[in-house]
Structures are given as structure tokens and as C-alpha cells.
Chain A
Amino acid sequence: MTTLLSFIVLVLLFIVLVLVAKASEVSAELKGKFDFFNQSKINGYLLMGFLVLMFVGSAYSYKLLAPVMLPKSASIHGVQTDKLFNVTMLIILVVFVLTQVALFYFAYRYNESFGQKALFYPHNNTLEVVWTVIPAVVLTGLIAMGMYEWYGIFNVEKRAKDTLVVEATAKQFNWMLRYSGPDGKFGTRIIDTEHITPTNELGINWDDKNSHDDFMADKMYIVKDRPVLVKIGALDVLHSFYLPHFRVKMDAVPGIPTEFYFVPTMTTEEMRQYLSTQEWWQTINPETQEPRWKTFKYELACAELCGKSHYGMQKEVVVVTQQEYDEWVKGQTAIYSTVAPKEPTPPAADETKTALLSH
């Protein structure tokens, strides 16, 4: 009923609006020629008003939202790309203010109600060169800085030897996280119908002894200051491996392996300590009835539309010390002990099968 009523009110409002607008037009015409002069005057002031409103609104939304805009970066490269983000933001902020002020001020100052004569001024080559060269120089700087960071992130040669390797495989609607176990070596995976079964979706090759201590984790444990290499894959459709706090994002593509290398710099506990000093994180979480920082956790999300439950592909990420990590590993159960066949099947004779090797 209220829906119907508000609908009727809206329609009536529209009719009134149209009638008023029509009336103003008719009265203007009765006075003589339809004249824009007064409208230009009013609109000039309104545009200036809008300019002020826009800056006040921008500043207010910055004040309100900047504290929650980006989570604090907890990886080495993340700190760098955040810096680049901030530098670029500052530059464009200057351009934004200058151009918007010029645009709206000129629209106000040179509207016809001031009664000036327009100036015939079709071009100025010096000006054109100036406003081509300045952006070109600034952009070159930004491109250079961006490329430096970009190549730093994807430089394979600079990877550390003690890198922790995690295999993350996405499917609808879950992340499967495989660790190599105490031996530090992953069992190979074989992509054929013999190996891939509902109990072994990854196609792990049980004949490969390295697979026997591999385990699946329900939370992603990584170690502070120890580089992580995530080997990313997908079984069914595209997904994207997204760790917002570590500035990590890489698509998971069926049939094409991808990876991302990064170094976490803060344990979960350290991040909680840091957040306990931040205003927003003091607010009470209605679910736990505690300040939000106390239950803070790093999270893994999916960032590529993968179907109707795309928004639910959440996993917790825990950053710990090496010692805590070692203890956690001890507590895990190898997949082999739960799902592998009691007697290993003899190696298949099919030579064309593809082996997807991990180390």
C-alpha cells in the first residue's frame, strides 16, 4: 500500500513539475523573445555553488572514509605500490583542483550576464606545446616508477631459496590449499581421468612418494618475513587469488598455471596490535561484542566473477613466526593417509598424459 501511495505521489510530483516548467516557459515567451540572459546568470552562480559543494563533499568523504580506504599493507611490495598510489593520487589531485576550478570559474565568469564580447582566439601553439609536454614529462616519471615496481614484483631471479611454496587451487566455490609437508616437496599431479576422481580432484599422483606427506589446509598459514610463492590454479572456471592486505592478486586460470611471490611483514598478532591504536578498529563488532581489532584476521578472497556464489570464497590467512608455523605443520594430516588407495595402483601405461609438475 505504501509502495502504491509513494508511486502516486511521485507521479503527481512529476505532473506538477512539468506544469510549472511549462508555465515558466509560456510566461517567458509572452514577455517577448525567449531569453537565456537570466538563466545564464542564475546558472553561473549555481555552477560556482556546485564547485564549492564538490570540494567540500570531496574533503568530507576523505575525512570520513580515508581511515578505512585501504587496509595497512602487510607485504614488502605492498608498501611500495601504496607509495606509488599515493604519489600518483597527489599529482592527480593537483590537476583535479586546477582544472575543475578553471572549468567552473570560467563557466561562471564568462557567462553572458556579464555582458562581455567574446574573444576570437582560435589557437595558441605555444600553449598547446606546453600542455602537451608537461603531462608527457609527468607521465614518463609515473611510467618509470611503475615499471620499476612491476619488474621488482615479478623478478624471478631475485627469489629467495627458503621460499615457502603454497599451492592454491580454486573451484566453485572454494579455495584448496596444498602444502608440501615436512619433506618440502610436492607430489606431482597428473591430469587424466584415471587420476582425477571425486576424491582426488587435483589428480595427485600417489605413486610419487613426495605426495605422501602433502597436506591440505583449511587456513592459509604463512611465515612473517619468509617469502611465499603461491602456485595458483583453477579446476573449473576463472577465479582470482586476492589477498587485500598483502596487495596480492593473480587470476586462477583452468589449464594455465600462474603464481605470485611476496613477503609478508606482519604477523596476525602484530597487525592486531597495530589496529588497536586505530580509531575505527575500536568500534564494537556486533557479532563478537568486542572491539574489532581483537578479532582481526587476514583474508583470502576471489576477485574474478566465478558464478553465483563468487562472493563467498573466503579463507582465513594466518601469518605466524617460523616456530609457530612448524608446530602447525606437525598438527596437519597428510592427504595420503585419508584418501589414497590402500594399495597404490600400478603406473598407467598412457604416455600422452600431461604431468603438471610442481616442486
Chain B
Amino acid sequence: MQTAHTVEHAHTADHSHVHGHDEHHHEETFLTKYIFSQDHKMISKQFLVTGIFWGIVGGLLSVLFRLQLGWPNETFPFLETFLGKWAEGGKITNEFYYALVTMHGTILVFFVLTGGLSGTFANLLIPYQIGARDMASPFMNMLSYWFFFSASVVMLFSFFIQTGPASGGWTAYPPLNGLRDTGVNLGSGLGFDLWILGMSLFIVSSLLGGLNYVATVLNQRTKGMSMWKLPLTMWALMFTAVIGILSFPALLAGCLLLEFDRLLDTSFYLNNIVINGQLLGYKGGSPILFQHLFWFLGHPEVYIIILPAMGLVSEVLSIHSRKPIFGYKAMVLSIVAILVLSFIVWAHHMFVTGLNPNLGAIFTLFTLLIAIPSAIKVFNWIGTLWKGNIRLSSAALFAIGFVSMFITGGLTGIILGNSAIDIQLHDTMFVVAHFHIVMGVAAFFGMFAGVYHWFPRLYGRFMNETLGQIHFYITLIGAYAIFFPMHFMTGLPRRYYTYANFESFNNFNHLAAFISVAAIIVFLGQLIFVVNFFYSIFNGRKVKGEKAADGYEYANPWGATTIEWSAPVDRLHGNWPGEIPTVHRWPYDYALKDREFIPQTEPLKPGEVENH
């Protein structure tokens, strides 16, 4: 196996951070190494493990509400054992059902697919792939995790209070969530205050992290690493952070004003509210204003979720196809196009709020335009596979699954983005099917591809391939079984505890049960991943490398060109024991005439011209 470590290991005087192995013993205590670590790799693991925890919780919540949706007339006595008053007589109450869907959305969108995904891979890959010893500000990076942790504690805590957690939808629309003490919604009591607190902490975490990621990619690149030599993961993660920095503050402002309405009786979002025949004192606010603020983050948010996955998949597909990514520059430019467009499509979530029809038309235009860069990316991924020599490992399988899911879910976006059609489909199960496939399942596939691929970098071991592949097929087939038929529930409103009150919505009882069974199987399938993950940390097959002259073991298990594999198998503080390698070529030199691949660190041969 080729080690890409071509840089002579010399203890030159240039580092302020010398990390030669003979000096590698800063007295690190348990506390600074594992808890308040400022090392990007440890922080990455912290985000990943927290993300996995939230993934299990979020998935479990969906299993609970799928029990209700699949078998609305049955009781499940064991639920009462666990949930007490929330499932009296073994049937989930309607209040708790709404708490479940609300927290399922919040947890998966923010805590797993934003915190867990960006947090894990931006932290792990940015310093390694651009050739930096750590983040621009390791301290801020540590704070980013601990704000995320605090947000997690607050959210988790909200499950155990009298009123239960927030139950007014993950979109937190006022007035339902803007009125605190009027009894309009039990879950809008303390549980929702905690939701706002948790989200605010989360946003702080996301901003601290994001600023750091952008600063690091722009300033800390190693010698020779020009922007056009960055792997697509870096472009994706950096632009993701840019989107987050520009859009999360809008949500923070929106949430704080909402809390003012709740606690201080201001009227930012409230106007002429009548409860039980009594006119409350709120005057002049607009509930629609909140929706604008929310979706000004909310829509870019789906790209915050999907762009990192796209970056990981681009990299994994290219490496495992042993072939350069097709259309590298087109891939970068389409990310830029998505970034710009993602800020001017938010009102497609609001086509039927009564907004001016001209706005509806404009937002239809931009929304459908965003399909173009997305289509370019899909064609380029397929082009990458064409005439490759594909190693179908778990990572590659999940990357291929990502593309499949992204196609299926993306295409129905063309239907929903068209305002005239959206009148009927708005807030129906069709929407639920669409966004679960395109940003939920697809982003998970990207994340799994990333975890299987970079696990050796994180832990020096491989995850078990057999389990990984079983996990892949269960998830692929299961996710399609859940969400493909759900598209046919075209007229069914979402967020219904039961459809029994409506003759019009009563024709899908068998389908609902089928979907629930599939959901439970997929959930259990994810436990295979969890077991594989933790088992492999301690017992996985070891990465075997070659011992170099400096005494460290080097390995490039997938035969990749990028420089994270030019660092020793052991995860050193500071990443490279000697000098940081210099970069000479683009990251996709695969399938060359005489060589299978050439690492980025290898200088161009005399007379060699880069021909991409």
C-alpha cells in the first residue's frame, strides 16, 4: 500500500507547534483530552457520538408515532409502562403525539443532520484535508461543541417536565406557540420555552463552528493548496458554513421575538387574538412575519443539511470508482449557485398563507431554477461512475444510495415548487414523503458513506463490512418502502393524529400499517450500524500501514489522493509529526496512464501539465 508520506521528516524551526514524537507529551489530563478537548479530531468524535445518540432518540420518537398512525385503533400496553400518562391505557394521547412529531423534526433536522453531520465532518476533515494542525480557533471550536451539548441537555430535559416537550410543530409557528398561559396548547408551556432556549444555544454553537470552518478553510491551507486544489468536501463544508452564518441569525432573532411575545406580552406576531370569546390585548403584530424569519433560515437549512452530504458523496464516489470526479469545476459552481438560490426560495413554504400572488410567482421561478444546479450534480455523479473501476464497499454503496434518494426526492420538488400545484399538496403527506427522501434519508446516506469511509481516519480501524452492507440494504429498501408509497397519500393532511374523522382521508389504513412496519424495521436496521460503530471502535479490523523512518505508521487504506491520509494512522495532536506536507496537484488524479492514483503531495513531473 502506498503511503503518501513523501515529505522528509525534518524538525525545522518554523513551528510554533512542534509535535515531533519525541516531544509528544503535553501533559494532557483526561479532562483536556476527552472532555474539554480543543483537538478537532476529538471534537469531531464528540459531535458524532452526540449525533448518534440523537439519531436513536429521534428515530425512536418516529417509531412511537408510527404506532399510532399505523394502528390508530389498537392499544399497546407496554407504552403505558414507559410513557405513563402520555400513553394512558396503552394509547398515545393526541397531545403527546404532537410532542413526538415536533421533537422528531427538531431533533433530526437540527441535532442530527446539522450538528451531527456538519459538526462531525467539518471538524474531522477541514484541518486534515487542507493541511492544518487544527482549526483557526480551537477554543471556539471547543465552545461550539459545548454549546451544542448544552442545547442537547436542555432539549432532553424538556421531555421530563410536567407539560411535556414542545408540541406545536418543529416550525414553531405563532400564535399557537406564541401564547403561553392561555391554555391553547399544553405543549406551548414551559416545554416550548425550553425549546427556544435549546435552539438559541444550538444556534450559538452553529455560528461558533461555522465562523471557524470558514476562517480555517480560507486562511489555514498548507503550502500549494490553492482553492482549486481543494477536494469537494472542503467546498461543500465551507459553503455550508457560509449559509449557516448568514441564515441562522434570522432564526435566532425570530425565536427571541417569539419569546418576548410569550413572556413580556409584546405583539410581534400577535394581533386581535380571541380566546373563548375574549379579545386579548395583542395589537398590530403579524404571524406571517415569523414564518418569513423562520423560513429565511428554514429553507437554507435544507441545504445546510444536504451540501455536506453532497461533498462527502462526491469524494467517496470518486475514490471508490478510482476515477476523477466528473466536472470538478461544474460541481463547485453548482454549489455556489445552490448557495445563492437557497436564500431566495424560502416563501415556497408560504404559498397558501395569503401572500401576494406576485410573490408566489417569483418564488416559484427561483424554486424551480434551483433544480438546475441539483440536476448538474446528479449527472456528474452518474458520470463519475461511468467507466470507473468501482469498489462496492459500504461507503460506496451508501454514496450510490444517496444519489438514488436525491434523484427521487429532488424530482418531486419540481411538483411542489410550482405554486399552482402546491395549493393542493401543501401540508399533505406528499410533502412529508418529498422532504424525508430528499433531505432526511439522502442526508443520512451521505453521512453513513462518510462514516464508513473515514472511520479508519477517526479510529485507526475499519468498520465491519458485512454489517455495513446489511445495514445498507435494509436502509435502502426500507426507506423506499416507507416513503415511496407515501407519495400516493396526495390529499392527506400531515400532522393528523387519526384520519377517522374524515371519509375523504380514510382509504389508506393498510398502507399506513405497511409504512409503520417498514419504519420499525428500518429503525432496527440502524441499530446494526450503532452496534457496528461502537464495536469497531474497540474491536474493528486494524488499519495496517507501513512504519516510516520517523517511527510512525502510515496508511492510505482506500488509496485516496487527499492529504488526510498522509498523516500517521495514530491521531496526533497537530496531525503531522513533522512539517505539514506541501500540495502540488488537484485532488482527483485517479486512473492516470501509468499510475492508479497520485497523491496531492507528489510534485508534478518535469513537463507534466495538469489536464483537468
Q: Which residues of chain A from 140 to 156 have a CB within 8 Å of any chain B CB?
A: 142-143, 146-147, 149-151, 153-154
Cβ contact within 8 Å between A118 and B502: no
Q: Which of B270, B274, B473 contacts A196 (CB 8 A)?
A: B274
Q: Which residues of chain B from 444 to 474 have a CB within 8 Å of any chain A CB?
A: 462, 464-467, 469-470, 473
Q: Which of A147, A232, A250, A253 contacts B287 (CB 8 A)?
A: A253
Report the bound CA distance from A305 to B185 in whole Å: 11
Contacts of A160 in B (CB 8 A): none
A110-B386 contact in complex given A143-B365, A249-B424, A255-B286, C-beta closer than 8 Å: yes
Cβ contact within 8 Å between A84 and B420: yes
Contacts of B428 in A (CB 8 A): 303
A36-B392 contact in complex given A121-B323, A296-B503, C-beta closer than 8 Å: yes
A274 CB within 8 Å of chain B: no
B218 CB within 8 Å of chain A: no
Q: Which of A118, A301, A314 contacts B389 (CB 8 A)?
A: A118
B547 to chain A, nearest CB (A): 18
A112-B504 contact in complex given A81-B424, A139-B372, A142-B418, C-beta closer than 8 Å: no
Q: Which of A14, A17, A236 contacts B275 (CB 8 A)?
A: A236
B56 CB within 8 Å of chain A: no
B57 CB within 8 Å of chain A: no
Closest to A36 in B: B391
A103 CB within 8 Å of chain B: yes
A261 to chain B, nearest CB (A): 12
Contacts of B426 in A (CB 8 A): 240, 249, 303
Report the bound CA distance from A147 to B367 in whole Å: 13
Report the bound CA distance from A208 to B270 in whole Å: 28
Q: Which residues of chain B from 256 to 296 have a CB within 8 Å of any chain A CB?
A: 270-279, 285-288
B173 CB within 8 Å of chain A: yes
Interface Cβ pair total, 8 Å cutoff: 389
Cβ contact within 8 Å between B503 and A65: no
Contacts of A258 in B (CB 8 A): 353-354
A150-B379 contact in complex given A110-B387, A240-B352, A310-B495, C-beta closer than 8 Å: no
Contacts of B469 in A (CB 8 A): 39, 43
Cβ contact within 8 Å between A253 and B353: yes
Q: Which residues of chain B from 425 to 443 have a CB within 8 Å of any chain A CB?
A: 426-428
A311-B499 contact in complex given A106-B386, A107-B392, A150-B357, C-beta closer than 8 Å: yes
Q: Which of A10, A24, A80, A128 contacts B327 (CB 8 A)?
A: A128
Cβ contact within 8 Å between B389 and A117: yes
Contacts of A110 in B (CB 8 A): 321, 385-390
**Chain A 100-125: CB-based contact to B (< 8 A → 1; otherwise 0):** 10111011001110001111111110
Report the bound CA distance from A196 to B535 in whole Å: 65
Cβ contact within 8 Å between A196 and B277: yes
A100 to chain B, nearest CB (A): 6
B185, B325, B424, B481: residue with the most chain A Cβ atoms closer than 10 Å: B424
Cβ contact within 8 Å between B414 and A305: no
Report the bound CA distance from A115 to B503 in whole Å: 58
Cβ contact within 8 Å between B173 and A120: no
B480 CB within 8 Å of chain A: yes
Cβ contact within 8 Å between B493 and A301: yes
**Chain B 470-487: CB-based contact to A (< 8 A → 1; otherwise 0):** 100100110011001100
Contacts of A273 in B (CB 8 A): none
B360 CB within 8 Å of chain A: yes
Contacts of B390 in A (CB 8 A): 40, 107, 110-112
B94 CB within 8 Å of chain A: yes
Cβ contact within 8 Å between A43 and B397: yes
Closest to B389 in A: A118
Report the bound CA distance from A24 to B381 in whole Å: 32
**Chain B 147-183: CB-based contact to A (< 8 A → 1; otherwise 0):** 0000000000000000000011100011110010000
Contacts of A116 in B (CB 8 A): 387, 389
**Chain B 516-528: CB-based contact to A (< 8 A → 1; otherwise 0):** 0000000010011
Contacts of A328 in B (CB 8 A): none
Q: Which of B277, B379, B392 contacts A198 (CB 8 A)?
A: B277
B383 CB within 8 Å of chain A: yes
A4 to chain B, nearest CB (A): 9
Report the bound CA distance from A78 to B402 in whole Å: 35
Contacts of A122 in B (CB 8 A): 324-328, 588, 611-612
Cβ contact within 8 Å between B480 and A151: no
A39-B480 contact in complex given A142-B368, A251-B352, C-beta closer than 8 Å: no
B204 CB within 8 Å of chain A: no
Cβ contact within 8 Å between A238 and B176: yes
A295 CB within 8 Å of chain B: yes
A249-B361 contact in complex given A238-B176, A254-B273, C-beta closer than 8 Å: no
Report the bound CA distance from A304 to B273 in whole Å: 17
Report the bound CA distance from A203 to B274 in whole Å: 10
Interface-located stretch among A44-52, A209-217, A221-229: A44-52
Closest to B378 in A: A99
Cβ contact within 8 Å between B279 and A193: yes
B482 to chain A, nearest CB (A): 12
Report the bound CA distance from A96 to B592 in whole Å: 33
Cβ contact within 8 Å between A85 and B591: no
A111-B272 contact in complex given A150-B419, A240-B427, C-beta closer than 8 Å: no
Q: Which residues of chain A from 27 to 50 have a CB within 8 Å of any chain B CB?
A: 29, 34, 36, 39-40, 43-44, 46-47, 50
Closest to A314 in B: B501
B211 to chain A, nearest CB (A): 33
A311-B531 contact in complex given A25-B466, A40-B390, A254-B271, C-beta closer than 8 Å: no
Report the bound CA distance from A240 to B539 in whole Å: 54
B585 to chain A, nearest CB (A): 12
Q: Which of A46, A136, A296, A298 contacts B372 (CB 8 A)?
A: A136
Closest to A131 in B: B379
A263 CB within 8 Å of chain B: no
A245 to chain B, nearest CB (A): 7
Interface-located stretch among B27-35, B224-232, B403-411: B403-411
Q: Which residues of chain A from 65 to 110 have a CB within 8 Å of any chain B CB?
A: 65-66, 68-71, 78, 80-82, 84-85, 88-89, 91-92, 95-96, 99-100, 102-104, 106-107, 110
B513 CB within 8 Å of chain A: no
Q: Which of B274, B427, B539, B590 contacts A235 (CB 8 A)?
A: B274
Report the bound CA distance from A84 to B414 in whole Å: 11
Closest to A23 in B: B466
Contacts of B393 in A (CB 8 A): 36, 39-40
Cβ contact within 8 Å between B491 and A70: yes
**Chain A 245-282: CB-based contact to B (< 8 A → 1; otherwise 0):** 10111110111111100000000000000000000100
B186, B278, B326, B504: residue with the most chain A Cβ atoms closer than 10 Å: B504
Report the bound CA distance from A153 to B360 in whole Å: 12
Report the bound CA distance from A312 to B501 in whole Å: 6
A212 to chain B, nearest CB (A): 21
A304-B427 contact in complex given A131-B376, A238-B176, C-beta closer than 8 Å: yes
Cβ contact within 8 Å between A171 and B274: yes
B242 CB within 8 Å of chain A: no
Given contacts A124-B326, A199-B277, A297-B503, 19 further A-B contacts (CB under 8 A): A21-B532, A25-B464, A40-B390, A46-B473, A58-B484, A88-B421, A91-B414, A103-B381, A121-B326, A139-B368, A154-B360, A238-B176, A244-B504, A254-B272, A256-B288, A256-B354, A292-B503, A311-B497, A311-B498
- 9 A-B pairs with CB atoms under 8 Å apart are A10-B524, A95-B407, A106-B385, A118-B322, A121-B326, A132-B375, A172-B184, A192-B279, A238-B176
Instruction: Give the top 5 A-B pairs by smallest Cβ distance, nearest first.
Output: A255-B271, A198-B277, A258-B354, A65-B488, A43-B392
